[in-house]
């Protein structure tokens, strides 16, 4: 029975939420969104142009 208390404590530590852990901040993503642009996987929509990258170069930063 004592091991159940230990496992419960380990699970609490493993799944503990910390501030900012849900959305890692990449410098290029912050710069893109601060200029009113948006990030997108793949190519930008037809009326938008790719002006940079987001999430460390994995996504495209799209603007009008």
Long-range contact list for 15-24, CB < 8 A, 24+ apart? Answer: none
| Sequence-ordered alpha helix ranges (H) in 1-64 | 2-14, 27-34
Please state the domain extents for the chain: 25-63
Q: Are 29 and 39 in contact (CB under 8 A)?
A: yes
Residue 25: the pLDDT is 75
Q: Give the predicted TM-score (pTM) of the model.
A: 0.59
Residue 17: the pLDDT is 58
How far is 50 from 44, CA to CA, in rounded Å? Answer: 6
The model's pLDDT over 27-59, given as tens digits with 9 standing for 90+, comes to 888 899 899 999 999 899 999 999 999 988 899
For domain 25-63, which CATH number applies: 3.40.50.720, 3.40.50.300, 3.30.230.70, 3.10.360.10? 3.10.360.10
The model's pLDDT over 17-30, given as tens digits with 9 standing for 90+, comes to 555 545 567 888 88
């Amino acid at each position: 029975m004592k091991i159940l208390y230990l496992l419960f404590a380990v699970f609490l530590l493993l799944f503990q939420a910390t501030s900012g852990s849900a959305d890692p901040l990449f410098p290029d993503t912050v710069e893109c969104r601060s200029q009113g642009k948006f990030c997108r996987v793949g190519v930008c929509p037809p009326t938008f142009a790719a002006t940079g990258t987001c999430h460390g170069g994995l996504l495209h930063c799209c603007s009008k």
